[in-house]
Every structure is written in structure tokens, then in C-alpha cells.
Structure 1
Amino acid sequence: MPDDIAPINPTDAPRKQIVSTALNLFSDQGYVRTEMGDIAEAAGLSLDQLESYFLRKELIVLSYYEQLMHEMREQMASLPFDTIAIRLCTVLRSYLEQASGQRSALAGLFATSLQEEEGEITERLAALRTAMIADFQTLVRESVDSPRDNMVDSLGALLATTQILVTLFWLYDRTPGQRATHKLIEYIDDGLGLLRPLMLMPLVNKAINRIATLLLTFFTNQVLDESSSD
């Protein structure tokens, strides 16, 4: 598992306390209504002291999201030996359950990232996605129904982008209890079960490689070797 993305260092007590304080405020009074001054006051800091750790509240949420991703990666490393579909959907359900209390904060983070073409948030999210792609490729490789080698990287990239797309779907899901998102995960589970035997067909193999190439380009500016789809 790549080591380039790590959660807040547990020995960095001030930053950890700030994130915890901010998350409590987001839950109590809403993400949009919470200002940096509110966070500073609740954390017992001056605004200047707070900004020496986090210049804006989106960076606090980013640290929280990095922690979520770290916990997801740890879970992926300890998943039982099972099918790709079961392993993926187990991870997705657990991740969304953990994140459920901070939907509005995460929505704010992703909205900011869509508006910024470059900068710290963009760079750190790109690094997270790159690490997650490698981990989903490992998830595929270590599954009971792992495909042949030339499909592992493409399918892993496809699953990593599925996690991103499910996150975006969930953030905009207004159904009670985000029922539509849970139904979507059920469809993904069913769809992967149907797709797996079709991967033996050259045309399906080639299509998955091409889709993975497109998604990697879109999300991370990486490009798979398209010769693997020939």
C-alpha cells in the first residue's frame, strides 16, 4: 500500500484538536454558517493562531477527508478473501457510514475543488486519488475472482473512479437517508457480478481498458498503456 498519503499525525495534537472542534461545530450549527472565527474561539485560539495551522476551513475538511481515506485504505488491506463486488461494496458502505455526519462539509470541499484548477486542495486530492487507484488495483488482484493480469490495473482504476462517483452521487442525494445511494451500491454489486464472466471476452476486455484510460486521464492526468487493450 502506498505510504505517501497519511492521516493527521496523532502527535500533532493542536491540528488534531482543531479538526475535532471544527467537525463538532459543523455538526451543531452547519458547515456554511461556521466561520473560521467560530472555530478559533471554540478551540481556544486566536484567529492568527488558527490560520497558522489551517488558512481556511476547507483545509480542515480536507484533513478530515484524508483521514477518512486513510481508514478506508486500512480496511481494504484487511478485507476477507471474497469477490471483487463484495469487497468493493463493503468498503463503500463502511466509508459512507463513517462520513455521514459531515456531508455538508464534504460537499463544500468538493465544490471548492471543482472551482480551483490548481492549488493545495487540488494537489492533495489528486495525490489521494492516485494512492486510492493503487489500493483498488490491489483489491482486485487479491480477490477470489481476480481477472487475468492485463485486466487488473484497468479494473482497479475503474473501481477507484467508482468510489469518487459514488461520493459525488451521495453528496447530492436528497432522498431520505440517502436511499438512492444505497440502491446505487446494490446495482454496482449486481453489475459487477454480471460483468465478471464477460471479462473473458476480448471486446469487453478492450472496452474496460479504454474506459479506465479515459477515467484516469480525467481524474488524475495519468494514462494507462492502451496497448493492453489490443
Structure 2
Amino acid sequence: MTTTESGRGEQTRKLIVDTALRLFSELGYEKTTMRAIASAAGVSVGNAYYYFASKEVLVQEFYLQLQKEHLAGVNEVLAKGGSFSEQLMGILRAGIEVWRPHHEFGGKFIGLAAVPGSPLSPFSPESAQSREMAMDVYRRFVAGTTLKMDAQLREQLPDFLFLAQLGLVAYWVHDQSPNQQRTTKVMELAVPYLEDLIGLSRHKVFRAMTTRALGLIKLLNPYH
């Protein structure tokens, strides 16, 4: 395949994804068929299926697009440096900016992902690539932070931050304040508080509390 053909293929993939998202918003996920997506995108049904075997695969591509956009913002944040709170706020804000255009129908995707066994769940095997990209963001962040903390907590902190991000997205989807300002305020209050708690973990007097927190993180993480 030539570079030109590859570029056209990527453009077609993006066109199909963008068209599908518009139809999901207008018609609903269940009522939107691959035939309707192909027709609205101006491609053949066979071409649509060539790129995406199902609607679920198409949504996974959307997830990957969001992760790649987020990663670009994250790279800038990590390259800039700063305190634990500054960098974590930067990572979360970059995510919010990527998700913002999709707020109107974000709840529909949350609903689909929440169905037990759904391939659209962030914990499903089908979501492994986008999940690993998100997890790697927090592994890089934790590995580079200068904040002193308990060694075992440092090891498990990326898992916790990934789970916290999922919770933040769910809150953001339901946030009807102008430009989701309430979500931003939650972040501004929670992140410095989290930094304080993590910093305390290095002191022996808080060892018992840290051990309980580690146990909770393991229990919440579906991969343990």
C-alpha cells in the first residue's frame, strides 16, 4: 500500500467514525445501523465493513482516537514538568478538553459501557489497546513525579489514578453546569488533597492507613 493510499484509508476511517458518532447522537446507538452509517458517510456498505467489522469495533476506534488526542496533550504536560498536583491537573484537564465536544452524547456511551460483559466496557478485552494507552499515561506520570511516597503505593498508584479518571468521566458526563465548571472545581479541590494524602504515606505513623488503602485499590482493580 502506498503512502497516498494509506492516507486515504485513514481519512475514510475517520469519516466513518465521525459519521457514526453524529448518527448515534441523532438516532441513538441501537437504531443506527452500519448501512445507515455507510450511506451517510458516502461509502459502500462493504467498504464500511472493510474498515469496521461491527458498530462495537467502530466505537473502539473512537476510543482510540480520543486516547491519541489526549496523549498529545499529556506529552506537553509531562515535558513541562511541575509538582504532582500541577502535572496531574494538566493530565486531567487535557482529557476534559478532548472529551468536551462529545459531552452531549457522552452519557450514551457510558450507558453502553456499563452493561456487564459489554465489549465497550473499559475493562473488556476489546478495550485493551485504549485502556493500556490510558494506563501508560499514569505509569509515566508516577514514575517521573518527585513526590515522595510509600514504595508499594507508588507501584499501585497508576491503577488507582486510572480508576479515578473513569469516575471523573462519569461525573463529567452528568455535569450540566456551564462548560462543566463543577467538574473543574472538583478536580481543583481533589487533586491537591490527593497529593497531601499520598505524601503522608511515606511516614511510618500512617503505615496502617496506607496498607488499608492499598488493599482497597487491589479490591477495586478488576485485574487483581
Q: Is TM > 0.5 for Structure 1 vs Structure 2?
A: yes
Deviations 1:69-127 (A, max 9, x none): 12323443441222222211111111111211112443222311222515476323244
Partner of residue 32, structure 1: 28
* Shift in CA distance, 11/208, structure 1 to aligned 2, threshold 3 Å: farther
Quote the residue 1:214 is aligned against. 219
User: Which 5+ residue runs of structure 2 have no aligned equivalent?
Assistant: 1-5
How far apart are 1:165 and its partner, in Å? 0.6
Alignment of 1:70-85 (within 5 A): 70-78=68-76, 79=78, 80-85=80-85
In 1, Cα distance between the equivalents of 2:85 and 2:126?
Answer: 28
How far 1:26 sits from its partner (Å)?
A: 5.2
- Deviation digits for residues 29-81 of structure 1, max 9, x if unmatched? 63638834543223212334323433554543331221211232344344122
Contact 1:31 1:105 in 2 (8 A): no
Aligned-partner Cα distance in 1 for 2:150–2:7: 40
Question: Cα 1:95–1:119, aligned 2, differ >3 Å: closer, same or farther?
Answer: closer
Which residue matches 1:96? 96
Equivalent position of 1:176 in the other structure: 178
- Alpha-carbon distance between aligned partners in 2 of 1:173 and 1:85, rounded to the nearest angstrom: 23
Q: Is the 8 A contact 1:76 1:139 kept in 2?
A: no
User: Counterpart of 2:117?
Assistant: 117
- Say which SS state the counterpart of residue 117 (structure 1) adopts: coil
Instruction: Report the Cα distance in structure 2 between the residues aligned to 1:214 and 1:43, rounded to whole angstroms.
Output: 44
Q: Does 1:86 align with 2:86?
A: yes
- Stretches of structure 1 that go unaligned for 5 or more consecutive residues are 1-8, 224-230
Amino acid at match of 2:193: G
C-alpha distance 10-116 of structure 1, shift in aligned 2 (>3 A): farther
> Secondary structure of 1:12's partner?
helix
**Identity score, percent:** 22
